[in-house]
Amino acid sequence: MSRRQPYDGIVVTTPVSVPYVRFSTKGAHWWIGRALATLVEDSGLTKEQFDGVCATSMSLHPDTAVGIVQHHGLSPRWLDHIPMGGVSGIVAMRRAARAVQSGDANIVACIAGDTNHIDSFRQGLENFSQFGKDAVYPLGTGGPNASFAFLTDYYMREYGATRKDFGKICVAQRDNALAYPHALFKAPLTLDEYMSARPIADPIHLFDCVMPCAGAEAYLVMREEQSVDLGLKFARILGTIERHNAFADDPIQYRGGWAVDREDLYGMADLTPGDIDFFETYDDYPVINMLQFEDLGFCDKGEGPDFVRRHTMTTDGSFPINTSGGQLSVGQAGASGGFLGIVEAIRQVTGQALGNPVPDAEIGLVGGFGMISYDRGVCSAAAILAAGR
Amino acid sequence: MASPLRRSKRKNPVIRTRVPQLPPMARSRIFLGLTSAAARGVFELQVCRECGAIQYPPREACHVCLSDGLDWKEQSGAGQLVAHTMLRHAMENYFRERLPWRLGIVKLDVSDDLRNPHPAPSLIVHLHGDCPEPPAPVRVFAMLDRSGQAILVALPEKDTPHMTDDLQMREMTCDPKFRKSLVTDGKSPVGQAVVKELIKAGSDLVWVGEAAPWKKIPGWDEIKALQDVTVVDLDVTNPDSVRRCAAQIGQKVDILINTAEQHRAYRIDGRHGTENARAEMEINYLGLLRLAQEFGPVMRSRAADTEINAVAWVNILSIYALSNNPNQSTFSASKAAAHSLAQGIRASMQQAGVRVINIFPGPLDVEWNQELRPPKVSPNALAREIVKALRGGAEDVYPGDIAKDWYKRWREDPKVLERELAFAD
């Protein structure tokens, strides 16, 4: 039994995605502006009614959420900036939910938006963190590729995963992406193509890596009765967790913070992994999917490869994951990558999927993982959303 | 196993010379402690004074107990390779031009320190090609890369044949093998020893400077007769001579070792007037400046020219450059000037990735140190230290017991050393 206060009466609505592009000549403020405008349009609210704002972006420098409200003419009474990359979507939601619950804000607009110029990705890597700048970037790593190559290499060696197992994940996600209109990858991916892709950092090959791009994602957090009044479909928040710098003494990352807190997550939701209808994993590399399967209780540590072999992961499969294609097929629009799963989960449980719906999707799990600093991802988070009715 | 390096063919002169690119140089200030130790060939990490936890990457506070008492301490470097990768894609040009590139992640052993209950950090390292697949024991070293910053390198637990020929290793070192060297004065005992040692180390060709052809010096005929030696006119006190020499061979010199030195052992009042001091400055300081002006630019331009490229500039300074030895006062002053200039040369050569190695020997066993009691560094020992430095990853070398002792005292407190030297007989 969880001792945490439930998010009763607090809902998430209005899933927004601003279609991604590989490179953009626009600034991050443009992408955030489009997300805000779409939130206004889809919700029927005015921007003045957003009295809470929670924003994230990796290409906004030197601005923060403060710059956003001035730039876009907002005047919220509650403002938060979540510079946490891949967990920002979940962390934003759980903070916004508490703000609304306590009455500090009525309607919180949660927004992630990032641009991508030609050299943005490299510049982002160069200046990602002090540890990265001191102890990884100078080794020629080209960003998280090498860090994930290490942990994929270790995971394969230790638990017997093969490239084909990772390939199966990537191929299933691509199948899902083919129905999702905003995915940057529009051609099917075969396992042969996956296997014969060019190596990037052994054992990571091209289709194990996400493509950096520009895009934005957003949603609103409000009270259930407001959502009903506005006629907005909504999802309930059954449980959330976040954890940072877990298992720091592990010589290499083979588990994430989810393993610390998963009892809390399911306890709060009063559910078990068996109740989950679909899972939006954080998928910046497929090995992280396997870590989430294990650490969020779908199988034991080391059984990830076998779990993948036993299941089909398309929207109509036995274990649907990343139903819009995930970052691997949609693209990684900076911090929007941390919002992609939650926005898609809202759509799935509210019957608004832009691509293929998961049949009878009632309960969705979302994973977040972020901020690859030095040798590992520092942040992890998860949330369970349910159809609101 | 690393395959032995093969002598590359003569470069087609029509082909464009590759412009030097450097690995990323930016680091936090706290990280520079690692660079400082690597510069003298030592692998140090921060260790918490309160709880003994080892830190990496470098920190401002202990990640276990939050103490800010973090002391840089030498590490054995023994560790276990946990995972590895071969980079086949890179964002930075330096690495793009050198792919594939092997990296590893190593868990340090700390079993030798029973006082420290905290797990050792994991280190991301440049991984030598001869290290076996993980899990495997390896040795971690801190070396300077071409940007002049410290980088961690893991080598196999035991030396393997041709391991210095590994192309990643060659990027961290300035190995004389197959490279062409210039020894600016080949007539002095040190110059002669350096020439022989370079040839022994596989230097392809050694140009040996001769300033005064009429001087009969023991051993000189033997040096001249060596197959790989070419004598060149080079008088560092003469601007024209330096310019001519640079025009003649500058675009081929991969390693320059400045052995030209004026050394007299006088106290301030041991000689009337400034003639001797002027001669010392003329050779030890201005001579170095002339060499830097003529050879510096051309060596920088060739810093990435195939695998056989311009890599190193070696200055033979003196431990007296750090603190004046009153018994050799003007000599000390000229070496202090040379040291200061060498720092400037280093900053300039660094832009292209050419390493400036400063050698700070204690008293050498040569005629002008006749009255000094041992220990003194023999020219042969000094030459061996120079080659060792070229094959390593450091930039400051203190050969001999006296140099090491003085350096330690100087680091502890330069003022105390100054007093100790003033009161010494």
Kindly report, residue by residue over A49-60, the tens digit of the pLDDT: 999 999 999 999
A1 within domain boundaries: no
- Does B286 lie in the same domain as B330? yes
Residues in A closer than 8 angstroms to B25, CB to CB, are 138
- Does A141 lie in the same domain as A94? no
Contact B124 A136 (CB under 8 A): yes
Q: Residue A126: is its pLDDT beyond 80?
A: no
CA distances to B3, B77, B267, B406 from B162, in Å: 7, 21, 49, 36
Contact A251 B122 (CB under 8 A): yes
- Does B251 lie in the same domain as B139? no
Q: How many CB pairs under 8 A join A and B?
A: 122
Q: Which of A139, A163, A208, A252 best probes binding to B when mutated, by most B CB atoms within 10 angstroms?
A: A139
Q: Which of A145, A153, A206 best probes binding to B when mutated, by most B CB atoms within 10 angstroms?
A: A153
- Does A305 lie in the same domain as A174? yes
CA–CA separation, B5 vs B165, rounded Å?
5
Contact A157 B134 (CB under 8 A): yes
- Does B193 lie in the same domain as B58? no
A136 near B CB under 8 A:
yes
Taking residues A171-178, what's their average pLDDT?
Answer: 98
Task: Write down the pLDDT at residue B181.
Answer: 98
| Beta strand spans in B109-171 (E) | 122-127, 136-144, 150-156
A154 near B CB under 8 A:
yes
Contact B24 A153 (CB under 8 A): no
Residues ≥6 apart with Cβ < 8 Å to A132: A125, A372, A373, A374
pLDDT tens for B235-258 read 999 999 999 999 999 999 999 999
A77 within domain boundaries: yes
Of the three residues B138, B172, B206, the one that is the final residue of a domain is B172
| d(CA A134, nearest CA chain B) in Å | 5
One-letter amino acid of A189: L
Of the three residues B123, B149, B172, the one that is the final residue of a domain is B172
Q: Which helix (H) or strand (E) holds A13?
A: strand A10-21
Taking residues B116-125, what's their average pLDDT?
Answer: 88
pLDDT tens for B46-85 read 999 999 999 999 999 999 999 999 999 999 999 999 999 9
- Does B190 lie in the same domain as B41? no
- Total domains in the fold of chain A: 2
Residues in A closer than 8 angstroms to B95, CB to CB, are 140, 142
Contact B83 A150 (CB under 8 A): yes
Residues in A closer than 8 angstroms to B24, CB to CB, are 126, 133, 137-138
A5 within domain boundaries: no
Q: Residue B173: is its pLDDT beyond 90?
A: yes
Residues ≥6 apart with Cβ < 8 Å to B124: A135, A136, A139, A141, A146, A147, A150, A374, A375, B103, B104, B105, B152
Range of the domain at A201: 127-209+234-387
pLDDT tens for B351-367 read 999 999 999 999 999 98
B1 within domain boundaries: no
Q: Which of B308, B290, B295 is nearest to B254 (CA)?
A: B308
Q: Residue B113: is its pLDDT beyond 60?
A: no
What's the pLDDT band for B114 if we cut at 50, 70, 90?
Answer: low
Residues in A closer than 8 angstroms to B28, CB to CB, are 130, 133-134
Of the three residues B141, B172, B203, the one that is the final residue of a domain is B172
Range of the domain at B335: 180-423
Task: Write down the pLDDT at residue B425.
Answer: 63
- Does B107 lie in the same domain as B196? no
Contact B321, B374 (CB under 8 A): no
- Does A314 lie in the same domain as A280? yes
CA–CA separation, A104 vs A89, rounded Å?
20
A76 within domain boundaries: yes
CA–CA separation, A112 vs A108, rounded Å?
13
- Does B166 lie in the same domain as B239? no
Q: Residue A265: is its pLDDT beyond 90?
A: yes
CA–CA separation, A308 vs A283, rounded Å?
14
A248 within domain boundaries: yes
Residue appearing with tokens 């939006």: A280
Residues in chain A: 389
A298 near B CB under 8 A:
no
Collect all residues from B whose CB is shorter than 8 A from any CB in A: 23-28, 31, 56-58, 63, 82-92, 94-95, 101, 103-105, 107, 118-119, 122, 124-126, 134, 145, 147, 149, 151
Residues in B closer than 8 angstroms to A251, CB to CB, are 82, 105, 107, 119, 122
- Does A339 lie in the same domain as A377? yes
Taking residues B380-408, what's their average pLDDT?
Answer: 96
What's the pLDDT band for B307 if we cut at 50, 70, 90?
Answer: confident
- Does A286 lie in the same domain as A315? yes
Contact A277, A320 (CB under 8 A): yes
- Does B142 lie in the same domain as B186? no
Of the three residues A230, A262, A281, the one that is the final residue of a domain is A230
Contact B156, B138 (CB under 8 A): yes
A119 near B CB under 8 A:
no
CA distances to A167, A252, A328, A372 from B113, in Å: 44, 22, 45, 30
What's the pLDDT band for A2 if we cut at 50, 70, 90?
Answer: low
What's the pLDDT band for A297 if we cut at 50, 70, 90?
Answer: very high
What's the pLDDT band for B195 if we cut at 50, 70, 90?
Answer: very high
- Does A314 lie in the same domain as A223? no
Max Cα–Cα distance, chain A, nearest Å: 56
Residues in A closer than 8 angstroms to B92, CB to CB, are 122, 140, 142
CA–CA separation, A32 vs A58, rounded Å?
12
- Does A238 lie in the same domain as A224? no
A3 within domain boundaries: no
A130 near B CB under 8 A:
yes
Contact A145 B89 (CB under 8 A): yes
A70 within domain boundaries: yes
Secondary structure tally for chain A: helices H, strands E:
14, 11
- Does B150 lie in the same domain as B190? no
Task: Write down the pLDDT at residue A128.
Answer: 81
B15 within domain boundaries: no
A223 within domain boundaries: yes
Q: Residue A354: is its pLDDT beyond 60?
A: yes
Residues in B closer than 8 angstroms to A199, CB to CB, are 86, 88-89
More confident residue, A141 or B51: B51
- Does B216 lie in the same domain as B130? no
Q: Residue A143: is its pLDDT beyond 90?
A: no
Task: Write down the pLDDT at residue A119.
Answer: 83
Taking residues A155-182, what's their average pLDDT?
Answer: 98
- Total domains in the fold of chain B: 2
- Does A202 lie in the same domain as A58? no
- Does A84 lie in the same domain as A98? yes
Q: Residue B154: is its pLDDT beyond 90?
A: yes
Instruction: Report the C-alpha dihedral over residues B371, B372, B374, B377, rounded to 10 degrees.
Output: -110
A118 near B CB under 8 A:
no
- Does A152 lie in the same domain as A115? no
If you measure CA to CA, which chain A residue comes closest to B99?
A140
CATH, residue A85: 3.40.47.10
pLDDT tens for B198-222 read 999 999 999 999 999 999 999 999 9
- Does B380 lie in the same domain as B268? yes
Cα distance from N-terminal residue to C-terminal residue, chain B: 55
B238 within domain boundaries: yes
- Does A136 lie in the same domain as A200? yes
pLDDT above 90 as % of chain B? 86
Of the three residues A196, A230, A264, the one that is the final residue of a domain is A230
Contact B320, B263 (CB under 8 A): no
- Does B184 lie in the same domain as B97? no
Q: What DSSP string describes A244-288?
A: ESTTTTSSS-SS-THHHHHHHHHHHHT--GGG-SEEE---SSHHH
CA–CA separation, B322 vs B417, rounded Å?
10
C-alpha B17, offset from chain centre: 25
pLDDT tens for A214-246 read 999 999 999 999 999 999 999 999 999 999 999
Instruction: Report the C-alpha dihedral over residues B404, B407, B408, B414, rounded to 10 degrees.
Output: 160
A247 near B CB under 8 A:
no
pLDDT above 70 as % of chain A? 99
Taking residues B104-127, what's their average pLDDT?
Answer: 84
Contact B27 A122 (CB under 8 A): no
Contact A253, A377 (CB under 8 A): yes
Q: Residue A389: is its pLDDT beyond 80?
A: no
Contact B1, B159 (CB under 8 A): no
User: Running DSSP on this structure, what letter comes out for residue B4?
Assistant: P
- Does A264 lie in the same domain as A137? yes
- Nearest by CB to A134, which of B27, B95, B147? B27
pTM of the complete model: 0.94
Q: Residue B341: is its pLDDT beyond 70?
A: yes
CA–CA separation, A101 vs A252, rounded Å?
39
C-alpha B313, offset from chain centre: 8
CATH, residue B280: 3.40.50.720
Looking at every residue in chain B, the average pLDDT score rounds to: 94
Q: Residue B116: is its pLDDT beyond 80?
A: no
Task: Write down the pLDDT at residue B368.
Answer: 86
- Does B358 lie in the same domain as B256? yes
